Amino acid sequence: MVKQIVVITERLPGQPDRGFCELSGVEIVRVFPHRAGGQLSKLSQYMRYGIQNLLYASIPGLISKIQPDVVLVHSSFHNYFNLLTPFLRKISKQVPLIADVRDHQLPVTELGQLEIYDAIIACSLNVLRHVSLKESLTSRIKHIPVIQEDLGLRRNAPASLKKHGLNDVSYMLFAGLIKADKGVNLLLEAYKVLCCRGRTEELVLVGQAKDLKLVELALAIAGVRSLGPVPRDELLDLMSCSRLVVNLSGSEGMPRSSLEALALGVPVALPADIPEFEQHCHEHVIKSQNPEVVADDLERLLDHAASPRYPVSEHHVDHVCQMYGEIFENVRLEKSFAE
């Protein structure tokens, strides 16, 4: 059983560089410059990323002080040019390394960076398929579903609805980054078709605007609202009260917003090419790129509002944590035997 976890991550404004939660046994060590989710210029992001790469040199020493049984590394550290590998190689002499792969953004030509790891966790079947393209990695890969806490069924959310002016409003919801490759263009075109057919549902976009021109285009359409980023509790409230949570993204591993909607038991329109969705709830998957056909599918789901039978229990905390614990123990034992 895992008794203590140390998370090495980036600094956050207003947060101490070190923190410890006695209840969970989680210690936070903030080392890297703040980048994720920040409203930063490209120049600032590049400079901070450069500093982060220089700080990788301090990680082996930090690992020596902590003396963990295993080290779990988020694969996004490898997605772009980095100086991490030599320091990981040094750490691997002290302790087993496990890569936690949450997306398929690491180019196939760069999958060799994962050779340094004793084991590789793929959080979805798409990610599993992607990492398996490097044949030498296949024996080390284990599929462990992305974790999702039990959210219960629909929530009563008058405060969140009032805050965003959605009381007594029938609406569809998109939650995610507002940019073209998240399927927002297609959704807007399909929504215009629905409006021409006389549908009265509004379309609510929630998430950080990565493409300001796309947001301007969206707001020029009657019935579309863009709320920007909102706190997670509010987002779950807005999902719970929506007619349909829509995700038409063309590139996903296991989309968080769709999984949360499934956990809430609300009607969903799901993105294509997700094997888990195709297997368990294919009737909710939107496969076409034609706005007229997409509008047909959305209308069908709006008029027959049913929650798909997706096995959310496979993502529950206890189940997933048990799988992590097993792989930690197996890798630790294999490493000790090899020595």
Q: What is the pLDDT along the chain (339 residues), one digit of tens a residue?
A: 677 889 999 998 888 999 988 777 899 999 999 987 666 788 998 999 999 999 999 999 999 999 999 999 999 999 999 999 999 999 999 899 999 999 989 999 999 999 999 999 999 999 999 999 999 999 999 999 999 999 987 788 899 999 999 999 999 999 999 988 899 999 999 999 999 999 999 999 999 988 899 999 999 999 999 999 999 999 999 999 999 999 999 877 899 999 999 999 999 999 999 999 999 999 999 999 999 999 999 999 999 878 888 999 999 999 999 999 999 999 998 877 666
Torsion sign across C-alpha atoms 332, 334, 89, 145: negative
Same domain flag for 165 and 309: yes
Alpha-carbon gap, residue 7 to 66, rounded angstroms: 11
Instruction: List 20's β-bridge partners, or say none.
Output: 27
How many CA atoms lie within 13 Å of 97's alpha carbon, on the beta-carbon side? 22
Q: Closest by alpha carbon to 152, among 257, 264, 319? A: 264
State how many domains the chain has. Answer: 2
Same domain flag for 20 and 120: yes
pTM: 0.89
Q: Which two tokens stand for residue 98?
A: 């496990």
Amino acid letter, 176: G
Same domain flag for 189 and 330: no
119 phi/psi in degrees, rounded to 5 = -150, 155
Same domain flag for 162 and 309: yes
CATH number at 297 reads 3.40.50.2000
The residue range of the domain holding 62 is: 5-149+316-338
Q: Closest by alpha carbon to 268, among 251, 295, 248, 252? A: 248
How many CA atoms lie within 13 Å of 246's alpha carbon, on the beta-carbon side? 31
Alpha-carbon gap, residue 84 to 113, rounded angstroms: 10
Same domain flag for 165 and 308: yes
Same domain flag for 90 and 129: yes
205 phi/psi in degrees, rounded to 5 = -105, 125
Same domain flag for 175 and 71: no
Same domain flag for 212 and 246: yes
Q: Which two tokens stand for residue 164?
A: 């965003």
